[in-house]
Amino acid sequence: MAHNFRYLIFHKPYGVLSQFTQETPNQSTLKDYIDVPDVYPVGRLDWDSEGLLLLTNDGKLQHRLSDPRFGHQRTYWVQVERIPDADAITKLQTGVEIQNYCTRPAQVRLLSADPPVCDRHPPIRFRKNVPTAWLELTLTEGKNRQVRRMTAAVGFPTLRLIRVSIGQIRLDSLPLGQWRDLDTSELQLLHQFLKQNSQSRIQKLAKRT
């Protein structure tokens, strides 16, 4: 019997839990936005973070994308307090110490202009006479609150965090609070990525033996 797998992307707003059940009363969850049965998020996006969340009922794919052994790229737009200098950018790129762990090398660049983001509700708290800047970070790991801890470690606290892509799947113009099914080309990219990722892991294991 053929499996009726669903693959969705959701533009998660600030303050929404990446799960369908509340932990305390009056919490906003995925149930408030997504009415598709039996799909579950791939990984997590913190309640105070925004952006792309991938959901599926394909357990194999969910496992592969959630397993830290199969590192895949996740790209974020990060608004930070003050303007990071070249030294801070280099540290983020090469690895910083967070909770007795050194982060893997990352792709990091200071954006020359504000990215095209929607308003956040509630808005961030601006401090008078303290400028802000936007970074684009691409990681291949997903430690707990990693981006926030990384920017704090180099002296530039995160004010706003938006995930804009997972692998080749991009948020693009999907409106805040809306979801849609992946299209055929996106599904092909996703499965191609998983295949390449699997082959790369097999090659690494072969070198160790």
Taking a C-beta distance cutoff of 8 angstroms, is the pair 35, 129 a contact?
no
Strand segments, DSSP code E, in the chain are 7-12, 40-41, 50-56, 74-81, 97-98, 101-102, 107-110, 132-139, 158-166, 169-170, 179-181
Taking a C-beta distance cutoff of 8 angstroms, is the pair 196, 167 a contact?
no
In whole angstroms, give the CA distance from residue 43 to residue 40: 9
Taking a C-beta distance cutoff of 8 angstroms, is the pair 196, 203 a contact?
no
Catalytic member of 32, 35, 38, 46: 46
Q: Does residue 46 carry a catalytic annotation?
A: yes
In whole angstroms, give the CA distance from residue 181 to residue 20: 18
Supply the residues annotated as catalytic.
Answer: 46
